[in-house]
């Protein structure tokens, strides 16, 4: 008789047509999916709500969706937990304790999104507890903590979502032993740590890129934008970044250039990475202030960037020039977004408005909206709806603290 885990793995491998969202910002960490045949217009009341899970715990962790499994993290009592739900019903399948309570004024609970790789799930708690479990049943494979690698917990807790690349797990403990760490994803043993790059950890997540024949990991901290050689952990290039308070948005790599953005008045820039490791800033001073993204994310669609800019509104920015193409300050408040089938799914952090717009440089073109309901009564006074929207396999997933929502957005 085949075991549950073997059957589950076979099921995953046979579903080649799925459009999963297995980690933070989707399959390739761009905030996009290639899924098509989704609703281009929403009914007046919004898409059909399929289910609501009311016990996902406190926190801002996003969902990772693979096949009929959804995993996220939440604070229940004094424990941060990794939680697995059935995608079709919202029923809880298993939970695993990851770490203890990390308190802060903007809302307790985990901010990191789990990463699913084949039949394993990797989850990082706010205190740096890192676990690997089986997706089928939550059985523990290994655990460690980033503080064992010299990491110092950042002000709002560890918030990045770990990256799996081949046999490596990449994360950012920060600190004098090395800011970026590569572990063996099967055992949790250290492969390398960046002894020559020692910035403190902040809140952005690593991406992987191929540039000039060199596979590299790109990360943004409060002090630097950096590229790290995948095989050795050596610094390939590095340039200063004037981050303030909290540096959150994930970098974007495109055609030998790296785009980054930060809030708190910092703004954005595009860096040209030369083959000899020199780094050149592309934008002029005016363009650098077009997109001051706090933590709602920036998405590149064709040659244009979309996101919310503090003090400016929702913005479309031309990638290579940095020029503002359009902005909208009235249609929706500050929030987060994702992209699917020619549309941007935008979520207002304060009111819970969810809006579908065309991803076009022609302007804000709305194709439906609804208000998230119900909304949590457990959020701290300073807390907001910060979890990014996710589209996977014809479904839209949204979260407001302990409430996790699933909507049907298939045509």
- Three-state SS annotation for the chain: CCCHHHHHHHHHHHCCCCCCECCCCCCCCCCEECCCCECCCCCCCCCEEEEEECCCCECCCCCEEECCEEEEEEEECCEEEEEEEECCCCCEEEEEEEEECCCCCCCCCCCCCCEEECCEEEEECCCCEEEEEECCCCCEEEEEEHHHHCCCCCCCCCCCCCEEECCEEEECCCCCCCCCEEEECCCCCEEEECCCCCCCCCCCCCEEEEECCEEEEEEECCCEEEEEECCCCCEEEEEECCCCCCCCCCCEEECCEEEEEECCCCEEEEEEECCCCCEEECCCCCHHHCCCCCCCCEEEECCEEEEEECCCEEEEEECCCCCEEEEECCCCCCEEEEEECCEEEEEECCCCEEEEEECCCCCCCEEEEEECCCCCCCCCCCCCCCCCCEEECCEEEEEECCEEEEEECEC
Average pLDDT over residues 13-18: 45
Least confident residue range of 12-26, 188-202, 259-273: 12-26
Under the banding of pLDDT at 50, 70 and 90, the label for residue 340 is very high
Q: Is the pLDDT of residue 164 over 60?
A: yes
pLDDT the model gives residue 12? 40
Q: Domain 4-408, CATH 2.140.10.10 — does that match?
A: yes
Average pLDDT over residues 373-390: 90
Under the banding of pLDDT at 50, 70 and 90, the label for residue 18 is confident
Q: Is the pLDDT of residue 236 over 50?
A: yes
């Amino acid at each position: 008789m085949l075991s549950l885990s073997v059957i589950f793995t076979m099921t995953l491998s046979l579903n080649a047509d799925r459009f999963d969202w297995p980690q933070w910002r989707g399959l390739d960490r761009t905030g996009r999916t290639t899924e098509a045949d989704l609703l281009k217009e929403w009914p007046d009341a919004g898409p059909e709500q399929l289910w609501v899970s009311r016990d996902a715990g406190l926190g801002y962790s996003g969902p990772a969706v693979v096949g009929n499994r959804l995993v996220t993290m939440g604070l229940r009592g004094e424990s941060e937990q990794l939680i697995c739900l059935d995608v079709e019903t919202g029923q809880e399948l298993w939970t695993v304790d990851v770490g203890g309570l990390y308190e802060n004024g903007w809302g307790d609970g985990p901010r990191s999104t789990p990463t699913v790789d084949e039949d394993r799930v990797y989850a990082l708690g706010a205190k740096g507890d890192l676990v690997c479990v089986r997706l089928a049943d939550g059985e523990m494979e290994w655990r460690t903590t980033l503080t064992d690698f010299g990491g110092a917990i950042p002000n709002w807790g560890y918030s990045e979502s770990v990256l799996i690349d081949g046999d490596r797990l990449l994360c950012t403990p920060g600190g004098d032993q090395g800011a970026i760490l590569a572990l063996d994803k099967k055992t949790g043993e250290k492969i390398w740590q960046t002894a020559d790059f020692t910035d403190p950890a902040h809140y952005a997540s690593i991406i992987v890129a191929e540039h000039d024949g060199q596979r590299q990991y790109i990360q943004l901290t409060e002090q630097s934008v950096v590229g790290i050689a995948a095989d050795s952990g050596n610094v390939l290039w590095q340039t200063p970044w004037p981050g303030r308070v909290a540096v959150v948005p994930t970098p974007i790599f495109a055609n030998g250039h790296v785009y980054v953005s930060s809030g708190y008045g910092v703004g954005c820039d595009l860096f040209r990475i030369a083959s000899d490791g020199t780094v050149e800033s592309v934008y002029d001073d005016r363009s650098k202030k077009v997109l001051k993204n706090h933590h709602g994310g920036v998405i590149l669609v064709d040659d244009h960037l979309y996101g919310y800019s503090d003090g400016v509104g929702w913005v479309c920015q031309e990638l290579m020039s940095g020029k503002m193409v359009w902005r909208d300050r009235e249609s929706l408040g500050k929030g987060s977004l994702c992209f699917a089938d020619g549309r941007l799914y935008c979520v207002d952090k304060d009111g819970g408005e969810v809006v579908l717009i065309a991803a076009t440089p022609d302007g804000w073109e709305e194709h439906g909206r609804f208000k998230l309901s119900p909304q949590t009564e457990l959020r701290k006074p300073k807390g907001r709806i910060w979890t990014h929207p996710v589209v996977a396999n014809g479904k839209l997933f949204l979260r407001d603290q302990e409430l996790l929502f699933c909507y049907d957005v298939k045509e």
